[in-house]
Chains A and B, each alone.
Chain A
Amino acid sequence: MDDGGPPLTRRELVAGAGITGASSLAGCTERLWSQAENNGPKQVSLSIKTVPADDDVVAAKILSQLRENFRAAGIDATHEPVAEADLYRDVLLQENYDVFVLRHSGLDEYDAVRGLLHSRFVSERGWQNPFNYSDVTADEHLETQRRTDESKRTETLRELFEYLETTAPYTVVAYPYQFGGSRRSLDVSRPPRRLVDYVDIMSREGNDWVDDRPLEVGVYGEGLTQRLNPIVVDRNRIEGLLELLYDPLVRRLDDEIVPWLADSIDWDETERLEAEVRLRDGLLWHDGTDLDAEDVAFTIEFLTDTSQGEVDSGVPAPRYRGRVTLVDDVTVVDTRTVRFSFGDTVRPVATRVFTVPVLPEHVWDDRSTVVADRRTEALVTDNEGPIGSGLFSFEESTADTEIVLDSFDDHVFRRTTADRPDLFENFSQFDGIRFQIAPNPGAMIETLVDGEIDVTVGDVPTDQADTIRAASDVSAITGRTDAFYMIGYNVQHPQLSNPHFRRILSRLIDREHTVTEFFDGMAEPATTYSSLFGFPDEDLEYEESPSTVVFPGTDGELSIPRVRSLFADVGYRYENDQLLE
Chain B
Amino acid sequence: MALIGVVLELALVVTTMLVTATLVIVGPRRLVAALREFRWRMEACALPLVALAVVLFVRWSTRDVFQRLERRVLGTNITPYLFDLERTVFGTNPVAVLQSFQAEPLTSFFVFSYIYGYAFLLLFPLIAYFALDEMNSLSTLVLAFTANYAIGLVCYVLFIAYGPRNLDPLLFDGLLYESFPQARLLTNQVNQSTNVFPSLHTSLSMTVFFVAWLTREKYPLWVPIAGFFAISVALSTMYLGIHWFSDVVAGTALALISVYIGHNYTVEEILASVRAFLVTPFETGGKLDR
Residues of A within 8 A of B (CB): 47, 52-54, 57, 60-61, 63-65, 78-83, 86, 400, 438-443, 445-447, 452
- State which residues 155-208 of B face A: CB under 8 Å: 162, 165-171, 174, 177-178, 181-182, 184-185, 188, 193-194
Scoring B174, B181, B188, B193 by chain A CB atoms within 10 A of each residue's CB, the highest score goes to B181
On chain A, the residues within 8 Å of B71 by CB distance are 83, 86
A421 shortest CB reach to chain B, Å: 38
Query: Is the beta-carbon distance between A439 and B188 smaller than 8 angstroms?
Result: yes
Chain B interface bracket (under 10, 10 to 19, 20 to 34, 35 or more): 20 to 34
Complex formed: what's the CA distance from A54 to B196 in Å?
Answer: 14
| A to B contact number (C-beta, < 8 Å) | 73
Contact sample, A vs B, 6 pairs, CB 8 Å cutoff: A47-B80, A61-B170, A80-B79, A81-B167, A438-B184, A442-B181
Query: Is the beta-carbon distance between A78 and B80 smaller than 8 angstroms?
Result: yes
Closest to A50 in B: B167
On chain A, the residues within 8 Å of B72 by CB distance are 86
A52-B193, A78-B84, A439-B188 are contacts. A446–B167 as well, Cβ < 8 Å?
no
A83-B194, A446-B2 are contacts. A61–B169 as well, Cβ < 8 Å?
yes
**Interface status of B15 (Cβ within 8 A of chain A):** no
A52-B162, A81-B79, A82-B77 are contacts. A440–B177 as well, Cβ < 8 Å?
yes
Complex formed: what's the CA distance from A443 to B177 in Å?
Answer: 9
Top 5 A-B pairs, shortest CB-CB distance: A442-B181, A52-B166, A439-B184, A78-B80, A64-B170
On chain A, the residues within 8 Å of B194 by CB distance are 83
On chain A, the residues within 8 Å of B177 by CB distance are 440, 442
On chain A, the residues within 8 Å of B193 by CB distance are 52, 54, 83
On chain A, the residues within 8 Å of B182 by CB distance are 442-443, 446
B89 shortest CB reach to chain A, Å: 16
On chain A, the residues within 8 Å of B219 by CB distance are none
Closest to B188 in A: A439
Q: In the complex, given contacts A443-B2, A446-B182, A447-B2, what are 10 additional A-B residue pairs having Cβ atoms less than 8 angstroms apart?
A: A57-B169, A60-B167, A64-B171, A79-B167, A81-B77, A81-B79, A86-B72, A400-B188, A438-B184, A443-B182
Query: Is the beta-carbon distance between A442 and B184 smaller than 8 angstroms?
Result: yes
A370 shortest CB reach to chain B, Å: 20
Closest to A82 in B: B77
A335 shortest CB reach to chain B, Å: 43
Complex formed: what's the CA distance from A446 to B170 in Å?
Answer: 24
Query: Is the beta-carbon distance between B166 and A54 smaller than 8 angstroms?
Result: yes
Closest to A90 in B: B77
Complex formed: what's the CA distance from A445 to B181 in Å?
Answer: 9
B99 shortest CB reach to chain A, Å: 14
Query: Is the beta-carbon distance between A80 and B2 smaller than 8 angstroms?
Result: no
A85 shortest CB reach to chain B, Å: 9
On chain A, the residues within 8 Å of B83 by CB distance are 79
B43 shortest CB reach to chain A, Å: 38
On chain B, the residues within 8 Å of A452 by CB distance are 2
A371 shortest CB reach to chain B, Å: 16
Query: Is the beta-carbon distance between B181 and A80 smaller than 8 angstroms?
Result: no
On chain B, the residues within 8 Å of A78 by CB distance are 80, 84
A93 shortest CB reach to chain B, Å: 12
A80-B80, A446-B2 are contacts. A440–B184 as well, Cβ < 8 Å?
yes
Closest to A63 in B: B168
Contact of A60 among B2, B166, B178, B188 (CB under 8 A): B166
Complex formed: what's the CA distance from A64 to B80 in Å?
Answer: 12
On chain A, the residues within 8 Å of B79 by CB distance are 79-81
On chain B, the residues within 8 Å of A442 by CB distance are 177-178, 181-182, 184
Complex formed: what's the CA distance from A451 to B193 in Å?
Answer: 28
B33 shortest CB reach to chain A, Å: 44
Query: Is the beta-carbon distance between B166 and A446 smaller than 8 angstroms?
Result: no
Query: Is the beta-carbon distance between A81 and B184 smaller than 8 angstroms?
Result: no
Query: Is the beta-carbon distance between B185 and A443 smaller than 8 angstroms?
Result: yes
Query: Is the beta-carbon distance between B167 and A52 smaller than 8 angstroms?
Result: yes
Query: Is the beta-carbon distance between A81 and B185 smaller than 8 angstroms?
Result: no
- State which residues 31-58 of B face A: CB under 8 Å: none
Query: Is the beta-carbon distance between B167 and A440 smaller than 8 angstroms?
Result: no
Closest to B189 in A: A439
Query: Is the beta-carbon distance between A79 and B184 smaller than 8 angstroms?
Result: no
Query: Is the beta-carbon distance between B165 and A443 smaller than 8 angstroms?
Result: no
On chain A, the residues within 8 Å of B185 by CB distance are 438-439, 443
A82 shortest CB reach to chain B, Å: 7
On chain A, the residues within 8 Å of B174 by CB distance are 53
Query: Is the beta-carbon distance between B166 and A79 smaller than 8 angstroms?
Result: no
On chain B, the residues within 8 Å of A63 by CB distance are 168
On chain A, the residues within 8 Å of B168 by CB distance are 53, 60, 63-64, 79
Complex formed: what's the CA distance from A112 to B254 in Å?
Answer: 52
On chain B, the residues within 8 Å of A52 by CB distance are 162, 166-167, 193
A97 shortest CB reach to chain B, Å: 12
On chain B, the residues within 8 Å of A53 by CB distance are 165-169, 174
Closest to A48 in B: B80
Contact of B181 among A60, A83, A400, A446 (CB under 8 A): A446
Complex formed: what's the CA distance from A312 to B177 in Å?
Answer: 51
- State which residues 121-173 of B face A: CB under 8 Å: 162, 165-171
A440-B181, A442-B181, A443-B182 are contacts. A64–B169 as well, Cβ < 8 Å?
yes
Interface string of B73-103 (1 = CB under 8 A from A): 0000101100110000000000000000000
